A and B are shown apart, each in its own frame.
Chain A
Amino acid sequence: MVTQITSFGRSGLYDWMMQRISAVVLSAYSIFIIGYLLLNPDLTYDQWSALFESTAMRVFSLLTLLSIGIHSWIGLWSISTDYLKATGVRFFFQSLCGLVMFIYVVWGVQVLWGL
Chain B
Amino acid sequence: MLVSIYRYNPEKDDAPYMQDYEIELPAGKDLMVLDVLNLLKAKDPSISYRRSCREGVCGSDGMNMSGKNGLACITPVSVAAKGNKLVLRPLPGLPVVRDLVVDMGQFYKQYEKIKPFLINDTPAPAIERLQSPEDREKLDGLYECILCACCSTACPSFWWNPDKFVGPSGLLQAYRFLADSRDTATQERLGDLDDPFSVFRCHGIMNCVNVCPKGLNPTKAIGSIRSMLLQRAT
Q: Mark A residues whose CB is within 8 Å of B.
A: 1-4, 7, 10-17, 78, 81-83
Contact = CB atoms under 8 A, between A and B. Distances in A.
Contacts of A15: 196, 200
A82 B157 CA distance: 7
A12 B230 contact: no
Contact of B197 (A4, A13, A83): A4
Contact of B230 (A2, A3, A13): A13
Given A13-B233, A16-B226, A7 B196 contact: yes
Interface stretch (B53-61, B187-195, B205-213): B187-195
Contact of B196 (A2, A17, A83): A2
Given A1-B191, A1-B192, A17-B230, A12 B199 contact: yes
B233 A2 contact: no
Interface string B17-57: 00000000000000000000000000000000000000000
Nearest to B229: A13
The residue among B191, B194, B195 with the most chain A CB atoms within 10 A of its own CB is B195
A13 B194 contact: yes
A11 to B, nearest CB: 6
Given A13-B230, A16-B226, A3 B161 contact: no
Contact of B160 (A3, A11, A16, A82): A82
B160 A2 contact: no
A12 B195 contact: yes
Contacts of B156: 82
Contacts of A14: 233
A78 B200 CA distance: 10
A82 B161 contact: yes
A interface secondary structure, majority: helix
Chain B contact-residue range equals: 20 to 34
A10 B196 CA distance: 7
Given A13-B233, A17-B230, A1 B194 contact: yes
Interface string B169-206: 00000000000000000000001111111111100000
Contacts of B191: 1
A81 B226 CA distance: 21
24 contacts: A1-B191, A1-B192, A1-B193, A1-B194, A2-B164, A2-B195, A2-B198, A4-B196, A7-B196, A10-B196, A11-B195, A12-B195, A12-B196, A12-B197, A12-B198, A13-B194, A13-B200, A14-B233, A16-B200, A17-B230, A81-B197, A82-B156, A82-B157, A82-B161
B161 A12 contact: no
A11 B194 contact: yes
A48 B233 CA distance: 42
B200 A12 contact: yes
A83 B55 CA distance: 38
Contacts of A78: 196, 201
Given A13-B194, A81-B160, 11 more contacts: A1-B194, A1-B198, A2-B198, A4-B195, A11-B195, A12-B196, A12-B200, A14-B233, A15-B200, A16-B226, A81-B197
Nearest to B156: A82
A83 B195 CA distance: 19
A14 B226 CA distance: 11
A111 B25 CA distance: 72
